[in-house]
Amino acid sequence: MRLPIRGAFAAIGLLALSGCFAPVAQREAQEIARKEVTRYCRGNCGGPLTLGRTQRIKDRWLIDLDSPARRFTVTVETDGNYKVDAWDKSLAPAISP
């Protein structure tokens, strides 16, 4: 009688773990990026963050988030790891006609 119960628990456990190893979707990558930029800035990013461009390159997502003072590019790998890069807008070259 214990064998079917153990089998059921094993099947439920495998299904639960398969969800943990699924690749990161676009929406999830954007949520990770916004959360990690807010953590990177410690809640003071110089204004509201707006979602810029999101693109998938090979097996990672590149998400751009803009604030009035800085632009942030977050690289999110398919396993959920991330890297935040910050660009200061005041250091950008002036656009000439």
pLDDT tens, position by position, 69-97: 889 999 999 888 899 998 887 776 656 55
pTM of the entire predicted model:
0.67
69 belongs to a structural domain: yes
- Residue 36 included in any domain: yes
53 inside domain: yes
State the residue range of the domain holding 54: 23-91
| Burial bucket for residue 2 (CB in 10 Å: 0-12, 13-18, 19+) | exposed
Confidence grade of residue 64 (pLDDT, cut at 50, 70, 90): very high
Q: Give me the pLDDT at residue 2, please.
A: 53
Residues 46/90, Cβ–Cβ less than 8 Å: no
| 57 domain-assigned | yes
In a domain, 48, yes or no: yes
Reported as a pLDDT band with limits 50, 70 and 90, residue 31 is very high
More confident residue, 58 or 92: 58
Whether 4 is in a domain gets the answer no
- 8 in a structural domain: no
The domain spanning residue 58 has which CATH number?
A: 3.10.450
- Say how many domains are in the chain: 1
